[in-house]
Amino acid sequence: MSDDNKVYVKVSEHGPYLIYGSPPCIQRIIERDGDERSRTYRDGKEFELSDPAALCRCGASQNKPFCDGSHKNADVDLKETASFEPMLDGAEITAGPVDDLADNESLCIHAGFCSADGSAWNLVTEAGDEAQLNLRSMTNHCPGGRIVLVDSETGAEVDQPLDLRVEIVEDPQADHTSSAIRLTGGIEVISASGRSYQVREREALCRCGASSNKPFCDGSHYEVGFDDGLMG
C-alpha cells in the first residue's frame, strides 16, 4: 500500500480516478506536422489538484478533467479489464545494435509518435546517431508506453526519466479529439480491487469511458470523437 505523502492514483469502482499527493497537472497538446505525424507536445492550461483530486474517467462530466458525479447516471461500463502483468511479458522484441525495442500493442493509444521519422521498428535496427536520436524521441513521446527501449544484455527497460506529473492530453489536429490522462515519472496506479499495476515511466489512463483495456487508454477516444471541451 502507498505512503501518505506519495503520489498515486486509486481507481474507484464505478467512479473517478482519485489522485493523491497533489502532483502538477497540465494540459498537453499533441502537435502534428503537415503530414499529420505526431512530433511533440505543447503545454496548455494548468490545473490545481486537491489531495485527493477526483478526475473524470467516464467521459460524462461537465467539468472535465474533474469529476462532477455524472458517472452515477452515465450509461458506461467502467469495469477494469487490463492485465496486471509487466509490460515486457506481453511485448515483442526487435533487436538493435544499441538497444532493443519492446512493443506491447495492448498499450497503444494510436497517438502516432512511433511513425514520425520512419518507423521505430526500422530505426531500432540502425546504429547511426540520427536514427538513435529519433528513436529516443519517439519512445519518450509515446503516451502509453507501448514502445520502450530495453538493454539488449540485461533485458531491463531503459526508459528516459520524465518529471512526475499528470497530463491531460489533447489531439486537436485529429478531428478536435481529446486524448488520455498521461501519467509520467512513475506514478503507481491501484485498481479498485486494491492491486497495483506495474509502475512505469509513461502510462495513459482512459478518460472517455470507451477503452476496452480499462483503466488504460486504447485509442477508442478517436472512434467515439471524445471532446473534453477544453480547447474552445
Contact residues for ligand FES (CB under 6 A)?
109, 179-180, 206-208, 210-211, 217-221
Q: Nearer to ligand FES by C-beta: 13 or 130?
A: 13
Q: How far apart are CA 204 and CA 166, in angstroms?
A: 10
Name the grid cell of 167: 497530463
Smallest gap from residue 32 Cβ to ligand FES (A): 17
Q: Which of 27, 30, 7, 26 is nearest to 17 (CA)?
A: 7
Whose Cβ is closer to ligand FES: residue 123's or residue 174's? 174
- Smallest distance, Å, CB 144 to ligand FES? 9
Phi-psi sector, 198: left (phi>0), alpha (psi -120 to 50), beta? beta
Nearer to ligand FES by Cβ, of 32 and 182: the residue is: 182
C-alpha cell at 29: 497538446
Exposed (0-12), middle (13-18) or buried (19+): which is 114, by Cβ within 10 Å? buried
Closest C-alpha among 142, 130, 129 to residue 101: 142
Query: What does the DSSP assignment read for 123-171?
Result: HTT--SHHHHHHHHHHHHH-TT-SEEEE-TTT--B-PPP---EEEEEEE
| Shortest spacing between CB 169 and ligand FES, in angstroms | 8
Rounded to the nearest whole angstrom, what is the least distance from the CB of residue 206 to ligand FES in the complex? 3
Nearer to ligand FES, 8 or 216 (CB): 216
Shortest gap between Cβ of 185 and ligand FES (angstroms)? 20
| Cβ at position 200, least distance to ligand FES in Å | 17
Q: What are phi and psi of 103, to 5 degrees?
A: -130, 115
Taking the least distance from each CB to ligand FES, the nearer of 150 and 205 is 205
Comparison of 126 and 227: residue with beta carbon closer to ligand FES: 227
Cβ neighbours of residue 28 under 8 Å, at least 6 residues apart? 41, 42, 43, 44, 167, 168, 169, 170, 182
